[in-house]
Each structure stands twice: as C-alpha cells, then as structure tokens.
C-alpha cells in the first residue's frame, strides 16, 4: 500500500498535483488539514481513496479532528496538530517533549505511525518505536520548501520517505525511516 501524505496546502493544490503526477502512482491520499478540501478534490480527480483530518483553518470542512486506519497490521493515527499546541518556533527541548507525547498518544491508540501537520515544518523520525511524520507544507511564501511523505506499508514493514521540492517537477528524498512489525523484528534479531 503506497500512501501520499500531504498537509497545510492552504489553497495551493499545484504542488500536490505535481507530486502525484511525478512520483505516483499512489493507492490513497491522506491530507492532515488546512487544505483538506483540496486534498479530497485531488483524490476525486485521480480516482483515489481519501482520508483527511480537519485543521484549524478548515472552516466548515466535513472531516474529523483525528482519525486512524490500519494496513498490514500497522496502525496509523493522524491529526492536524493544533490540538497539541505545537509550533515550529519552540525550542529543541520543547520539541523533544512533543515527540514523546506523540509516541505516548500513539501507544494509547495502539498506533505505530503518528501523522501530523500544522507547523509547516517537515519532520520524519522514529520516537520510541513510533514513526512520527509531518510532510511539511505547500503554503506559498513558506520558509520551508514544499514537502510530502510517501508511506509504503507492506506485510511486516512500514517505510516513510520525506520528499522536498527543489525545483519545478524535481522532488528529492530528504529523509527515510523504516519500522518493522514485532514479528519481523524478532526474525531480524534471531
């Protein structure tokens, strides 16, 4: 299962369209808020299943505040992130506390992967055995380049790749993290 994960497009569907065209095909689109309508619109245009959560600027959008889905035994929990009072200007110590909270929230929800947006800052890391992913934004005028996460879920393995847009049509791999199921982890350590 190959998922395209986007967030904080804020009315700019152009880069989502470009990523889908140049790096697809995907089996599903996930949008993490603040542009959930354009995410749904592109999924419809491409004939793809869609999941999305409402962000703090998705006024009137028919989407939940958080959601989850499972593939091949890996559970994904998603939220926009404004519920956690996070912002990209907080210091490193505060961010480490947020990452621990995300891992704890994932554990409470029996989730292996935590997806969030809101900060416009791309993040991909393994925190206490939980993949924590923020695809960044597509906001025009952002200090960060447009980004998205390719999430590939297979039996016994989940891989997340953060792609950042460097120039027209050119997306580069910026970071990669993998997570193995408990059964796969036991087999690898044997």
pLDDT of residue 190: 53
pLDDT of residue 168: 81
pLDDT of residue 167: 82
User: Cβ neighbours of residue 15 under 8 Å, at least 6 residues apart?
Assistant: 9, 138, 146, 165
Domain count, the chain: 1
pLDDT in tens, the chain (190 residues): 999 999 999 999 999 999 999 999 999 999 999 999 999 999 999 999 999 999 999 998 999 999 999 999 999 999 999 999 999 899 999 999 999 999 999 999 999 999 999 999 999 999 999 999 999 999 888 889 999 999 999 999 999 999 999 988 799 999 999 999 865 554 455 5
Task: Give the range of the structural domain holding residue 7, as residue numbers without chain letter.
Answer: 2-189
Report yes or no: 18 and 6 within 8 Å, Cβ to Cβ.
no
Angstrom CA distances, 119 to 4, 39, 82, stand at 19, 18, 8
pLDDT of residue 141: 84
Cα 56 from Cα 82, distance rounded (Å): 7
Q: How many other C-beta atoms lie within 10 A of the C-beta of residue 120?
A: 21
What CATH number does the domain containing 66 carry? 3.60.21.10
Q: What pTM, to 2 d.p., does this model score? A: 0.94
């Amino acid at each position: 299962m190959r998922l395209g994960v986007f967030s904080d497009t804020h009315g700019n569907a152009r880069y989502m369209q470009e990523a889908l065209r140049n790096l697809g095909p995907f089996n599903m689109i996930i949008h993490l808020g603040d542009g959930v309508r354009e995410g749904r619109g592109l999924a419809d245009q491409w004939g793809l299943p869609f999941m999305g959560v409402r962000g703090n600027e998705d006024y009137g959008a028919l989407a939940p505040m958080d959601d989850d889905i499972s593939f091949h035994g890996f559970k994904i929990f998603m939220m926009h992130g404004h519920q956690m009072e996070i912002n990209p200007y907080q210091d490193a110590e505060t961010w480490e506390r947020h990452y621990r909270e995300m891992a704890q929230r994932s554990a409470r929800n029996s989730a292996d992967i935590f997806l969030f947006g809101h900060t416009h800052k791309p993040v991909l890391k393994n925190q206490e055995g939980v993949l924590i992913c923020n695809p960044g934004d597509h906001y025009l005028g952002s200090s960060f380049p447009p980004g998205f996460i390719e999430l590939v879920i297979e039996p016994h393995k989940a891989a997340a790749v953060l792609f950042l847009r460097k120039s027209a049509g050119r997306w580069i791999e910026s970071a990669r993290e993998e997570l193995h199921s408990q059964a796969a982890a036991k087999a690898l350590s044997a």
